[in-house]
Structure 1
Amino acid sequence: MKEDQLMPVNLPPRDKELRARVKLFGNLLGKVLKRLEGRRALAAVETLRKGFIALRKQDDPAKRAKLMAFIDKLDADSLELIIRAFSTYFSLANIAEEDFLYRERRRQVSEGGPLWVGSFDHTLRELHEQGIPADSLQRLLDQLAYVPVFTAHPTEARRRTVMEAQRRIFLAADRLNDRRLGREEREELTQELETRIQVLWRTNEVRVKKPQVQDEIKYGLFYFEESLFNAVPITYRFLEKAIRRTYGNDEAGNPRVRVPSFLRFGSWIGGDRDGNPNVTPAVTELACRLAMEQVLSEYLRRVSALRHELTHSLYMCQPSEAFLESLERDSNIATAVFRGSADRFETEPYRRKLYIMRYRLTETLNTVRRRLNGENAVLPANSAYASAAEMLNDLRLMHDSLVSHGDANVAAGKLTDLIRLAETFGFHLFHLDIRQESTVHGQTVAEILKATGLNEDYDALSEPERLALLARLAEAEELPRLDGEALSETARETLEVFHVIGRMRAEVGPEGIGTYVISMTHAASHVMEVMFLARLAGLAGRNEAGECFCQIRVSPLFETIEDLRHIEEVLEDLLTQPVYARMLKASGNLQEVMLGYSDSCKDGGILASSWNLYEAQQKILRITGAHHVACRLFHGRGGTIGRGGGPTHESILAQPPGTVHGQIKFTEQGEVLSYKYSNVETAVYELSMGATGLIKASRCLIDNPPMDRRDYLGIMDELAALGEEAYRDLTDRTEGVLDYFYEITPVQEIGQLNIGSRPSHRRKADRSKSSIRAIPWVFGWAQSRHTLPAWYGIGTALERWRQNDPSRLAKLQTMYNEWPFFRSLLSNCQMALTKADMRTAEEYARLCHDPELAKRVFGRIHEEFERTVTQVLNVADTQTLLDENPTLALSLMRRNPYMDPLNHIQITLLRRHRELHERQPEAEQDPWISPLLRSINAIAAGMRNTG
């Protein structure tokens, strides 16, 4: 590949500011290194930095050999220090970029014109210009549900302590942007920045111990405390402002369009037990209670603050009758609240109410904390808040009362923010999804049926026989008594999870438990097995009046290419079951279906995965529509392109027309969490971009969307088949390719990096593609700069379909310009191709024990890489990769000279580490493992990708 294919042509005009900030950070880091580690350490870092920058400008084999010889002479401690220096630089560059983009958005706002594509302002103007009236927009907004789901997959390499230090640097850097600062103030701030960078340098970025699930739960909670409790109300304010600006007010002065609370959050942390034996029923209880403790603490803090703001006197205003009646109802606990002075704040009604609210929240919070300490605590019936609805009622009464006597502007401040938080987070904070693999349920059901005498050999039944049996049992009035001792430990624990669901629903509220996700769903009976287990735990069945009830919502997860192709059969079998249909209706008549991006891509490649997922969504909506069932699609996306990643706004718009019905749910995994939600400013931007994508994609609720062109669909069928064939030819049919993967990537060493509680393999010591999980599969290829899962097969597919026919190329170019799905696919491919580096990948290939195997496999990969770059550029009709996204192109280009030394150091460390263990298999002292693990972290930070 020619170098100029990677270089951006049209550079953004304000990049000088960003470069200046990155340079400042680099200089300050250099000062810290020189002062703390000495001149020789800094000189070593600079030798590699300047040397590889020069090689990027012009390759020089002699200079390259000299740099490699320099690396070879360095001992473990020196290498570790150099790795940390580059890793810290990447952290600082990431902060500089995030702050720069935030400043750019702020600048656009201050200039007063239309804002960026995807902003609330731009989206509302667009809808208004397209003739969408206020009542139609209201109808659309009322059906929205935007649900990011935080997960704990082992892809986030950063510690919470490190992220807190980085947040402090971000805030200090942002203050430096104030143009009114004098020279002395600027110098003081620069000195503060240097101090913050010094603290970051002194902080260990690698975990000393592998995290427990409890640590991961607290890690997930970090983002709510750090940014989301502030970002959520701000996001709503921005949307309200954009609507008022575009659609105006009615005759009474109220906004023509009201903004409902549509943001909701989910979590898998503490609920995802698929392949993770550490997620026990007790851990699930812990996750729910810690979440409740955190959100109650936030409400308590805000209510306490409001006491000092809403100091209205009865002599100055007249509260509403409804509000005064609520105060009267509170009189039974006034003595306890005011410790004997029951008439305290009688002339300051709002303040009095807030003191009472604070007391009730404290009672609820203390009960949660006693439960966390292992006590069987009961909520005080008269004094505590039993539910978020009770608290919300008090807040709304206060709000309406303020409005009634002319204080609407006061009510619209911090009180409204608290109402938004309560509507969004309730007492549960997030919907905790539960996930388990289908075979676990099947084995548990088989044991239970045998132990109760209901069926001796469940495994021998056909699918129709299983469905008939499970349907009958799901609604049976009585079931034989079950002796838990007759079950295996796994079966007992599986059944206990359903009892935990019931208890947690009672403790934190019905919304505290989200969906029960069944991974590896291959048949309708897999869903009915879960319904039967729910029936045993009292979560479903018939009540005393004979009416159907269901307190569980089940989401089948379709992961592999084969599963996606059989999705119609499974859903049709399920929804035609009368018992399941009744249960579904009792739970709200909403069928959630989860689609797995990671495994389908690992299985059949990016083209087949993307296209089968696209078609699957259309099939799902057709089937649920035919059965008059509402449907929400749950997208199991990862951070990298090979796992469904990419910009959220564009990804939502790339969904099939008419398949987004106001609701979207998707996983936020690994490094994506920290990039999106570590800072309030970025979190607001990400939530806004996602929400506008959802609004645009949900136009089908109020309008007939333009349908996909049939000829485009036919072309994609052919491209997907060609791409899958090319991908499988490499990964399934090329002898030794898995040995190549394990030997030339640090995937074996990733298991020693303390970044997740979940094992990286389904089966230990199994080098098969089916054993390795999708996350380390993507992680390994990324570390070695192949990034193969995100692009392999696209070049072959495009080349073979084109057949050097100019008219066919023109057709593909039209598809790229007109069809959001195809454009998003190839745009994301360009990002992955830019992050790949075949020269560096070839260096990793030399780690393979079999030179002939390495030459053969790498040769095929390199050839496909060149082909893909050429074909994608031809279709996009551009000269360089990411020509249409110069900001991203510059970011990646700026990182490459710093990535080069890290990759080459990692190759050296992999070789030394492995040679040591080949010579001494039982070696206890390995000086190379610590710097090697740090190199994995550093490269992940540089690429802004892990899994």
Structure 2
Amino acid sequence: MASTRKNDKDQPLIDDIRLLGRILGDVIREQEGAAAFDLIEQVRQLSVAFRRDADHEADRALKKLLKGLSADQTVSVIRAFTYFSHLANLAEDRHHIRRRTIRERAGDTQEGSIDVALARLRWAGIAPSTVAQTLAGSYVSPVLTAHPTEVQRKSILDAERAIAKLLAERGDLAERAQLYNSARDALTPRELASNEAQLRARVTQLWQTRLLRYSKLTVADEIENALSYYEATFLREIPKIYAELEQSLGQGSVASFLRMGQWIGGDRDGNPNVGADTLVQALRRQSEVALRHYLTEVHLLGAELSLSARLVEVSSDMQRLAESSPDTSEHRQDEPYRRALTGIYARLAATLAELSGGQAARHAVAPQNAYPHAQEFLAELRTIEQSLATHHGEALGAQRLHPLIRAVEVFGFHLATVDLRQSSDQHERVLTELLAT
């Protein structure tokens, strides 16, 4: 029975791996021909026979087969099994998320989760208020480092993220199908075909994309690779961690004790190509990534906060913020939040140009002064937050405004601190020169 339950639990993972493996096989057959596919399949079958059944005859046959491969055949085999490993990892990641969701729905807590950690503190007699106070006096800074020999190409990462998203969508569609008909655990043929066609396109993209770079990574490449994780993950997920922590503690706002750091662009000790120019480049690009995220969120907030002053009151500070906006459209004169956000967007656009030289994706309605620092931007967002909370609009800020405020607290206009690493003998030279004067 235990084995059956385990198989039931892992069946979605097995199904996903089989799906991705089948698509990869189809792509290889289509792109490289039946002979290449048959060779790769033969390698796979012999490997499985040796690994699963300890078949030593299969081991000998496999070694003989591999030794006889041409250079082109070797490359095809390596690429096929590399991509299969990548796809299997994506399926496993998706399965972990699926299992965590199932446990959360059942009310089960997971080892390593915030809920389990806080529960243990409560059992030890430590009150939530004490935890919140301790966090307020803490500083946690995960630091991203550069390891050029381990960095995957961004093109590969982007394609794999798209595949992961399609797997998640496939799971969501299957779940909805079950809700509509508990006896039917399947997608409609049209949904299946559409999802699989998109998966096939992304796997084809992978197969036709180089796994390795032909040129050595530059510091600029390392900077861009690190920034891609902020864009894809940190800017959105870290505010969610804070929200989960606040909900679990039940103590209101938790201080922003968790902030990101990195030494890419400032590691003069580990990379001889790092200098003043790379540090400037890192800081400019970091500011650009943070500000572009804020610009997008402010634009989307403007679409959401369409509240009319004819229907709901606003605070006096909120009204002043709206009146300071360059937005004079007669269509929005009774929409103070939108007017205020139009002005905020214009100031962010000016800040982007000043700090990074970049241009906002959407034109500001009129030129405005840049923010001198992130705290002023944060203060204006809090004005909106307080006005909403005071006038029965708190729910309107929970989905986008609150995460944006937390992001600004955590990332500011700099995104992350940059560690300046330097050999100690260089520090000695500088100190000697300074003290000599």
User: What's the TM-score, normalizing by structure 2?
Assistant: 0.88
For 1:393, give the aligned amino acid: A
CA distance in 2, matches of 1:441, 1:423: 33
> What is the Cα deviation at residue 189 of structure 1?
1.8
The whole-number CA distance in structure 1 between the counterparts of 2:353 and 2:287 is: 11
Distance 1:424 1:120 in 2: 19
Matched with 1:276 is 271
Q: Please show how residues 877-896 of structure 1 align to structure 2 within 5 Å.
A: none
Name the counterpart of 2:399. 413
Q: Deviations over 1:55-111 (max 9, x none)?
A: 223445554333222222211111001100000000001100000001111111222
SS in 2 for 1:435: coil
Structure 1 partner of 2:347: 360
2:143 pairs with 1:126: no
Q: What is the CA distance between 1:121 and its match in structure 2?
A: 2.5
Residue pairs, 1:932-947, within 5 angstroms = none
Alignment partner of 2:96 out of 85, 92, 101: 101
* Alignment CA distance shift 1:70-1:135 (3 Å): closer
- When structure 1 is superposed on structure 2, of 131-140 and 21-30 the one drifting more is 131-140
- Selected match of 1:18 from 5, 8, 13: 13
Deviation, 1:289, is 0.5
Task: Determine the structure 2 residue equivalent to 1:46.
Answer: 41
Q: Cα deviations across residues 534-556 of structure 1 (Å, max 9, x unaligned)?
A: xxxxxxxxxxxxxxxxxxxxxxx
1:228 matches 2:228: no
Q: How does 1:664-813 map to 2 (within 5 A)?
A: none
Q: Deviations over 1:469-506 (max 9, x none)?
A: xxxx4xxxxx73xxxxxxxxxxxxxxxxxxxxxxxxxx
User: Is residue 152 from structure 1 mapped to residue 146 from structure 2 by the alignment?
Assistant: yes
Counterparts of 1:319 and 1:46, CA distance in 2 = 67
- Say whether 1:239 aligns with 2:245: yes
Q: Is the 8 A contact 1:137 1:257 kept in 2?
A: no
Tell me which of the two structures has the higher relative contact order, counting C-alpha pairs closer than 8 angstroms and 6 or more residues apart: 1
C-alpha separation in 1, matches of 2:307 and 2:170: 39
Secondary structure of the structure 2 residue equivalent to 1:307: helix
Matched, 1:36 2:36: no
Cα pair distance change 1:299/1:281, threshold 3 Å: same
How many Å separate the matches in 1 of 2:115 and 2:21? 36
Give the drift of 1:444.
4.5
Stretches of structure 2 lacking an aligned partner (at least 5 in a row): 178-186, 360-366
Contact 1:162 1:203 in 2 (8 A): yes
Q: Distance in 1 between matches of 2:210 and 2:350?
A: 39
Match of 2:218 among 188, 212, 230: 212
Q: Contact 1:304–1:358 (CA<8 Å) still a contact in 2?
A: yes
Say which of 394, 398, 409 aligns to 1:423: 409
Structure 2 counterpart of 1:136: 130
| C-alpha RMSD over aligned residues | 2.5
Flag the structure with larger Rg.
1
Partners in 2 of 1:107 and 1:173 — Cα distance?
A: 17
Structure 1 residues 445 and 57: CA distance shift in structure 2, 3 A:
same
Please state which structure has a larger fraction of its residues in helix. 2
Q: Is the 2:47–2:58 Cα contact (8 Å) retained in structure 1? A: no
Matched with 2:254 is 259
CA contact (8 A) 1:134 1:257 kept: no
1:232 Cα deviation after fit:
2.0
Note if contact 1:270-1:284 (Cα within 8 Å) is conserved in structure 2: yes
The change in CA–CA distance for 1:397 and 1:49 in structure 2 (over 3 A counts) is same
Residue 175 of structure 1: aligned partner: 169
Say yes or no: does 1:185 pair with 2:179. no
Which residue, out of 351, 357, 365, partners 2:338?
351
Distance in 2 (CA, whole Å) between partners of 1:110 and 1:161 is 35
Q: C-alpha distance in 2, partners of 1:312/1:17?
A: 44
Task: Determine the C-alpha separation between the residues in 1 that align with 2:383 and 2:257.
Answer: 21
| Deviation (angstroms), 1:15 | 2.4
Q: Aligned pairs, how many?
A: 415
Contact 2:290–2:413, Cα closer than 8 Å, also in 1: yes
The letter of the residue matching 1:355 is T
CA 1:400–1:49: 2 relative to 1, 3 Å: same
Q: 1:440 Cα deviation (Å)?
A: 2.5
Aligned-residue offset at 1:176: 1.7
Say if 2:139 and 2:258, in contact at 8 Å, map to a contact too.
yes
* Deviation of the 1:182 alpha carbon: 2.2
Query: Counterpart of 1:176 in 2: which secondary structure?
Result: helix
The letter of the residue matching 2:408 is: A
Shift of 1:445: 4.3
In structure 2, relative to structure 1, the CA distance for the partners of 1:342 and 1:166 (3 Å cut) is: closer
Structure 1 residue 437: Cα displacement: 1.5
Task: Report 1:363-374 matches (<5 A).
Answer: 363-370=350-357
Contact 1:272 1:279 (8 Å CA) reproduced? yes
The 5 Å alignment of 1:598-677 reads: none
